[in-house]
Structure 1
Amino acid sequence: MDKFLLPQLVLERLAEDLQQVEQAARAAHETATHEENIAENKYDTLGLEAAYLATGQARRAEAIRQAMAHWRQFRPLPYDASKGIQLGALVCLVDSDNQQQQLFLGPAGGSMKLLSGDQSVQVISCEAPLGLAMLGKFEGDEVSIQLAQNRQQFEVLRVD
């Protein structure tokens, strides 16, 4: 998979997500303000619940817009073997069960799985635990993270 095309794929997915969230926010707002949903007593909370939902959806839409702004400015650089894994790296990790996974280290707000043909790439940010653990590592290095009671270990197979 070409890492220089991945930011555009992320932006396309974020645009789809934004459209869905905006539709949900509009629907929740319409429900909250519809005359049939005016509270008749203190236990009639449908309008209030819809208003909370609309507010949450509006916040989510704003978070997506901010992520899109970061991704529009982001330009991955070619891998520099003297610096190790940095923002923009496409990394192949293998776990103790010989399961490989492709990870693309991007800016915040783009955590998602992308498919291109039969290839799958997990997009993560440098702020994610695994993203932080990979920074500065080189091919052949071990990467480990602690998740709750489990320690997960990986080996860096390839970096592009």
Structure 2
Amino acid sequence: MDKFFLQQQVLERLAEDLLQAEEAARVAHETATHEENIAENKYDTLGLEAAYLATGQARRVEAICQTIARWRQFRPAAYDDSKGIQLGALVCLVDADGKEQQLFLGPAGGSMKLVCGSEIVQVISGDAPLGQALLGRCEGEEVPLRGVPVRQHYEVLWVH
């Protein structure tokens, strides 16, 4: 599985999210500044509420732009057994029930599921609880996941 292909998929999804967020911000701004939403008395807060929404949408647009910049600068390195799992690793885990899952560790803000051929790959950041538990681990090691309602254990099957 090509990590650079996965990175491109993440960037495409983020670009789609950005377009949607920009449209939502535009609509919220138009609503906040529309002449019909001018307060007629101190209890008329529709315009104020719309302004808060527009501000939140603008912040979301900025956050997505920052995430896109991080993912564009991201260069997934080849797996080095002496360092263990690092950002950029493609990892296959198996749980106690034998269920396998593939993860791609990347920079913050890219949490999503991708389809690569017939495989589903979960993108997580190194800041996520599972991402933190994986950092520095090697093939064959157990990965206990603490801080979740039900304690979970995984085994690292392979890393690329």
Short-chain TM bin: over 0.9
- Structure 1 residues not aligned, in runs of 5+: none
CA RMSD after TM alignment: 1.2
* In 1: Cα distance, 2:67 partner to 2:7 partner: 11
1:31 — aligned with what? Answer: 31
Deviation at 1:43, TM superposition (A): 2.6
Deviation at 1:147, TM superposition (A): 3.6
What code does the residue aligned with 1:15 have? A
TM-score, normalising length: structure 1: 0.94
TM-score, normalising length: structure 2: 0.94
Task: State percent identity of aligned pairs.
Answer: 74
* In 2: Cα distance, 1:86 partner to 1:70 partner: 16
Mapped pair 1:150 → 2:150: yes
SS at match of 1:81: coil
Deviations 1:3-52 (A, max 9, x none): 12111111111111011000000000100111111122233222111111
* In 1: Cα distance, 2:66 partner to 2:32 partner: 26
Give matches, 1:105-116, under 5 Å: 105-116=105-116
* C-alpha distance 44-117 of structure 1, shift in aligned 2 (>3 A): farther
Give matches, 1:1-160, under 5 Å: 1-160=1-160
* In 2: Cα distance, 1:2 partner to 1:66 partner: 24
Deviation at 1:148, TM superposition (A): 4.1
Deviation at 1:110, TM superposition (A): 1.1
Deviations 1:51-78 (A, max 9, x none): 1111111111111111111111111111
What code does the residue aligned with 2:87 have? L
* In 1: Cα distance, 2:38 partner to 2:115 partner: 45
Deviations 1:96-138 (A, max 9, x none): 1211111000111211111123211111111111111100101
* In 2: Cα distance, 1:144 partner to 1:48 partner: 47
SS at match of 1:52: helix
Moved over 4 A (4+): none
SS at match of 2:113: strand
Larger mean CA deviation between 76-85 and 11-20 belongs to 76-85
Aligned residues: 160
